[in-house]
Structure 1
Amino acid sequence: MRKLLTAAIVAAGFATASDAAVLRLDGYTSTVQSVSIGSSPVANTPGTVGATGFNLTDTTGNMGSFVGWCLDIAHYLMGTGSSQNYTPTNDPFSNSFGLTDTARDRVQSVFDANYAGLDATNGDHAAAFQMALWEAAYEDDNTALSVSSGLFQASSTGSTSLANQYLFAAMNYAGGSQWNLSFLQVDGDENRGRYTGQNLVTVSPVPIPAAGLLLVTGLFGLGAITRRRRKA
């Protein structure tokens, strides 16, 4: 119950972040796994990339510390401890491979169907989730999602099958949005060098509606009253 209330408060604050951020890479959520790219519609995609989540801190203080994920496979973040300028965008991404409306919806579904149960500290899980995000972002709009076929193809020991499980769950997800997506575009145009930053996505929990908070608070209070009565 406390975690639920805390998540709602954190999400409300996260959504008020300003229009500029200086993001510092503090490290990775797990050991970086090597992923082989078999096919990609993104220009200059390397044949082998690393995959995991990023531990980031907004040194301007607005977004605090959070986990980000790559949506820019043709570029790399700079080294741990380095900082780069980012701008939140509602039209990802003007400086690289742009997301269609369908791709954006698929990225949303990958998070909604899987993120609550993801262990980002597990290398296989983190790499599989990152592969699923790339597939959702880069696959043809009319093609079923799988990292094993289609315009975008990738493989990694221990992660390929799990990535496809995440994608299957996303395609069959029928619930509402569980996460607010924030797209972060690194400053610079599409001709920037390979090691000059990746475009990212991060999420915060969808806040509980006011009526829902009242219900949660009421249930919490009812439970406390019941416990007191039992003690009496």
Structure 2
Amino acid sequence: MSGSIDPWRYGWSTDYLTQTSGGLGVTGFLDTSAQLDGLVDEAITFTFDKSVRLMSVTYSYFGWGDDADVYVNGAMVANESTANPYLFGNTIASSFTIGADGWNDNFRIKSFTVAAVPVPAAGFLLLGGLAGLGLVGRKRKKAA
């Protein structure tokens, strides 16, 4: 499984993803905090090449006044959540975004956990059945 991580800041300036020992953040013009902060609305989007089961995201430097906006596949699922870690539940998606939009928000994304979505057993049975039908058809064609 692979994917991409994209930073975003409100406004016209260039957005930079930052990584410190505390985790991931965003910086840009006149913003050197290297955190997700709401002074200028900021967000980080994680996009995967395949659907994954979203488990949790954990923040560092997440204090009593901090909250995060959480989006799954572009749709908001939590507005100003104070949960740390934030638990996604049994959600299957190809992307999620964590944003900060309050003037006192100031945190980093420390870690996140996802799990691969297994191919259903029925898919393997279907492929096996189609292969079997193909072999039977081939034998009949040779016999005729």
Q: TM-score range by the shorter chain?
A: 0.3 to 0.5
Q: Kindly indicate which of the two structures has a greater share of residues assigned to helix.
A: 1
- Taking structure 1 as the reference length, the TM-score comes to 0.26
- Taking structure 2 as the reference length, the TM-score comes to 0.36
Whichever of the two has the greater Rg, that structure is 2
